[in-house]
Structure 1
Amino acid sequence: MARFPKGYVKPTSSCPGCLAWGDFRGRLCPACYMFGRGHDAAECAGCRRVQPLKWDYCRLCWCQARLGAKTVDGQLTEGADVRGRLAAVRHQQLFFVGMHYRRRPTPQARWKGGRRGAPRKPPPAPAWRPDPGWRQPPLFEQIPRHFDRLDPADADLASPWLAWAKYLAHRLAEARGWGRNIRFAVNRGLAVVLTGHVEGDVIRHTEIFSPLRSLDLPVGHIVAVLAEMGIFEDDSEPSFERWLVGRLEGLAPGIRSEAERWTRVLRDGGPRSLPRREGTVWLSLNQVRPALLEWSNRYDHLREVTRDDVLAHMRTVDGRHRRDQLVALRSLFTWAKRQGLIFRNPTSRIKVGQNEYAVLQPLLPEQVERSVAAATTPAARLVLALAAVHAARVAHIAALMLDDVDLGNRRLTIAGRVRPLDDLTLKLLADWLDYQRHRWPSTANLHLLINNQTANTTIRASNHWISAPMRGQDATLERLRVDRQLEEALIHGPDPLHLAEVFGLDEKTAMRYADSARQLLLASPGEPLGGAVRGAE
């Protein structure tokens, strides 16, 4: 094709190949250019011009022969032989560029569930657990199946177990808002794992996890259907067990067994103790681990540890770490004394001491501006407003439900407390709800904040995902929450009763905010008060 300088506009002209008139770049029209790339030039048997030829005829003669073979409505006559009409061409009908392109019919507009106008795929017929009938009891124990050897193409699609599973999968999909792709993948995975399934077989997590993951199939959704059928057994190792083995590594055998029993009692509870949250259990074992590693070099059991050993270890830490480790050690040795594992509690009469809180400092405007700039998504902006305006905790934000939002009356319920909606939060809520409606229109999750992982379930988003946009900023969600409560104390006066009523704070926490606000108000302008900002509760 001819090269033209930048900015040059070629005037409307006629193509020297097909004589078509129109706007096109280069010397030839696009159709003649592509026709010439695949055919050699010679004298045309019809028009006697030297042009690229296909079976001795140029493109212009081919267009005229095709035009003669068409009916009145522009369609080719049934059984028409365009090549046989080339010899009968005696004249040329001029045309415009693009009139003889082979245009594909315009597809109908697609919509959810298939092409518009086409009937949607009917749901699977109701099915129930297959009747086992008479069966021979197994002579030997069940041999583990190898699901990784199964090919989806060899799946038994006529299995009654698969029909029952598809029906249950359809009901779960309707209840939890699974999308079309997830439904297809779940049915494909069920066809793989239920091929050859008979009454009495149990499908275990360790058997299907790797084969399904290698096929890029949603293991969690398939497991939900199998659990609904009552044929699934979760034999996977809990993450707590792997963590506990790693944390107890390096301890003396006697100390290791005693620390493991104490950790399990914290998690599961006992005759005279309630179970703790898993995060509390992790924190407690992490606090006592440095001391247990040190004593494992000299002792084999906790009963050999003396009061002097505890005091010597406490002298190696200070501040908050000393208090936290001493509280955890007191819990360990108190439990050991109650179980009769030690003769005397070496941590008794060692005072923990009062935790000295620093004066809470307000955030600088630059710190808040950087956090605002980091909130680039509708969810992040809403989370930022809930923490900075309504002083909501991360866990409370993640637990918000759609029923907690009353846009008509401008009310928002956070942790059981009804709060009025300001203009900013109202706008961000409307933006997020509009985005959620377009992003996940079929979700059945009733939580206010959802993501790609929770949109197909009914669980809430994790605290990690909620706080991720502000992680690494000076003004994190926790510091924004503290700053909002401190701002309330500075504006309306250091009144603990007012803070407790507005934010639902504990009396000691409200008094701490009031004390910090009082010291900030009494300080001279420009005189900073020392101390880092920490969570007040």
Structure 2
Amino acid sequence: MQKWYTRSKRNRGAAASPQPGQRKRGLQGKPTPAPATRPTWGQQALLTGLQRDYTRFNEATDVDLSNPWLRWARHLTYQIAERRGWSQRVRHEVDRSLAILLSTHVDGDKIAYTAMSSALQPLRLSCDRATDVLNEMGILDDDRRPAFEDWLRWKLEDIAPGIACGTERWLRTLHDGGPRSRPRGIYTVWQYGRLARPILLAWSAGYGHLREVTRQDVLEVLEPLHGSDRDLTLVALRSLFQFCKNNGIVFRNPTARIRGSNQQAKVIQPLRDDQVQRSVAGAGRPADRLLVALAAIHAARSSAIRALQLEDIDLGDRRLVIAGRSRPLDELTHRLLVEWLDYRRTRWPNTANPHVLINQRTAFTLGQVSRFWLIAGFRGQEVTLDRLRVDRQLEEAIVHGADPLHLAVVFDLAEQTAIHYANSARQLLEAEIERGGPG
């Protein structure tokens, strides 16, 4: 897998971008705010529980830099900015936002996120970094309604109350996790909810509770479906009724002993060299070459790549921890990591973000890059990061004699997934023998 990558190395001697906060020689920087701490006394709020309206604030006449809460906030902003490498532009925007929010602040007040957003967004000021400061001060009231709540309310709309109750508990447990289960990915939750809603609506016309649903009802739902549509729907219903049975919502699981479609899984096909070469040639961003190596050599999922932190890399001992599993660091990935970390250090020298991969947005925060950013460099290409990961796992299966146990151990695959790769490898090897190929 490394031969094609070695040939793709190019000298990318682009000029370095200006650093965050960098000033031209001779210009006077903004003075450091005077040290300040949390005010120990001040005017108490006359009316508590009322949301302030910051949209009427006049920046020309209403700013009060003597307010002790604003002085404290500006001092905290300076400290956070130094830790995270905020640029002068970002510092100025945060300073301006805090002046709007804290010039009239008194002890006992809480700043509602929705009120802050209403005032800052029309001025094109970001709420994210002001939120960091207000959180550290302990005066932010995050009254935002989670998007999941609106989605859940819509999914349960018009479903019989007795059915909706158990369904809501199931979807919340999928989303949040429970005493005996971990949270599922949000895309899984969305898909299960999407598949279940039309079925639950149909059952609501005749039933008032999930315990009234029979095995025959489930079979009738599955009858018009075929292939993966049938299997995915059955998986969602199994998850729902198994949860309900485990929690005493239903007495019997009507999906028990209902088999899947038994369709023969498609044989995974290996990538051709020209496909891989085009993918490497299209890796234009500084991080893209490292992304290809992590997917094509270490079979890392997109989520694991985004979560990778600096402490997961041991360049000296050549070890790499991906998704909690320690792996040897090969020469190619080692070199690409060194190149990326050098670029990262030059581009964002003051960032405090612990993640290996950062961009212009996350360099000033502690969060991960988005999945959208991760795959942006491969959008429209024939070979994606996920396809490179699949090809690496298939290659391992072919080299090690189609052993599913080996695959499960090396890549932490589920049993059925490992068997699928092993079966594909076995069929590819048999086809090669029939054609009179090597081996």
Q: Name the TM-score, length of structure 2 as normaliser.
A: 0.83
Selected match of 2:70 from 162, 169, 175:
162
SS at match of 1:523: helix
Change (3 A) 1:391 1:123: same
Q: Which residue of 2 aligns with 1:148?
A: 55
Q: Residue 237 in 1 paired to residue 145 in 2?
A: yes
Change (3 A) 1:489 1:264: closer
Change (3 A) 1:151 1:318: same
Change (3 A) 1:482 1:126: same
User: Which amino acid counterpart does residue 417 of structure 1 have in structure 2?
Assistant: S
Structure with a larger share of its residues in helix: 2
Selected match of 1:442 from 350, 357, 361:
350
**Could you tell me whether the CA contact under 8 Å between 2:20 and 2:348 is conserved in 1?**
no
Q: Which residue of 2 aligns with 1:289?
A: 197
Q: Which residue of 2 aligns with 1:116?
A: 25
Greater RCO structure (CA 8 Å; 6+ sep): 2
Residue 148 of structure 1 and its aligned partner are, at CA, apart by: 0.6
Residue 267 of structure 1 and its aligned partner are, at CA, apart by: 3.4
Selected match of 2:431 from 518, 523, 527:
523
Change (3 A) 1:247 1:506: closer
SS at match of 1:418: strand
Structure 1, gaps ≥5 residues long: 1-109, 528-537
Change (3 A) 1:273 1:428: closer
Q: Which residue of 2 aligns with 1:386?
A: 294
Selected match of 1:126 from 31, 35, 53:
35
Selected match of 2:172 from 259, 264, 267:
264
User: Which amino acid counterpart does residue 294 of structure 1 have in structure 2?
Assistant: A
Any residues of structure 2 matched to 1:54-453 within 5 Å, and which?
Answer: 114-117=23-26, 120-132=29-41, 138=46, 140-153=47-60, 154-268=62-176, 273-274=180-181, 276-279=183-186, 280-337=188-245, 342=250, 344-352=252-260, 356-407=264-315, 411-415=319-323, 416-423=325-332, 425-453=333-361
- Count of residues paired in the alignment: 414
- Partners of 2:82 and 2:417 lie apart in 1 by 46
- Partners of 1:515 and 1:155 lie apart in 2 by 70
User: Which amino acid counterpart does residue 515 of structure 1 have in structure 2?
Assistant: N
- Partners of 1:369 and 1:265 lie apart in 2 by 43
**Could you tell me whether the CA contact under 8 Å between 1:490 and 1:517 is conserved in 2?**
yes
Change (3 A) 1:284 1:377: same
**Could you tell me whether the CA contact under 8 Å between 1:113 and 1:121 is conserved in 2?**
no
Q: Name the TM-score, length of structure 1 as normaliser.
A: 0.69
Residue 352 of structure 1 and its aligned partner are, at CA, apart by: 4.6
Residue 325 of structure 1 and its aligned partner are, at CA, apart by: 2.0
Residue 297 of structure 1 and its aligned partner are, at CA, apart by: 4.0
Residue 383 of structure 1 and its aligned partner are, at CA, apart by: 0.5
Identity %: 51
User: Which amino acid counterpart does residue 51 of structure 2 have in structure 1?
Assistant: P
- Partners of 1:453 and 1:420 lie apart in 2 by 29
Change (3 A) 1:311 1:369: same
* Deviation larger for 236-245 or 121-130: 121-130
* Deviation larger for 155-164 or 488-497: 488-497
Root-mean-square deviation (Å):
3.1
Residue 362 of structure 1 and its aligned partner are, at CA, apart by: 0.6
Change (3 A) 1:518 1:336: closer
Any residues of structure 2 matched to 1:433-512 within 5 Å, and which?
Answer: 433-491=341-399, 493-496=401-404, 499=407, 503=411, 505=413, 509-512=417-420
Residue 496 of structure 1 and its aligned partner are, at CA, apart by: 4.8
Change (3 A) 1:338 1:484: closer
Any residues of structure 2 matched to 1:24-43 within 5 Å, and which?
Answer: none
Structure 2, gaps ≥5 residues long: 1-18
Change (3 A) 1:111 1:500: closer
**Could you tell me whether the CA contact under 8 Å between 1:179 and 1:442 is conserved in 2?**
no
- Partners of 1:297 and 1:372 lie apart in 2 by 54
- Partners of 1:339 and 1:491 lie apart in 2 by 45
**Could you tell me whether the CA contact under 8 Å between 2:21 and 2:87 is conserved in 1?**
no
Residue 382 of structure 1 and its aligned partner are, at CA, apart by: 1.5
SS at match of 1:438: helix
Change (3 A) 1:205 1:246: same
**Could you tell me whether the CA contact under 8 Å between 1:113 and 1:120 is conserved in 2?**
no
SS at match of 1:152: coil
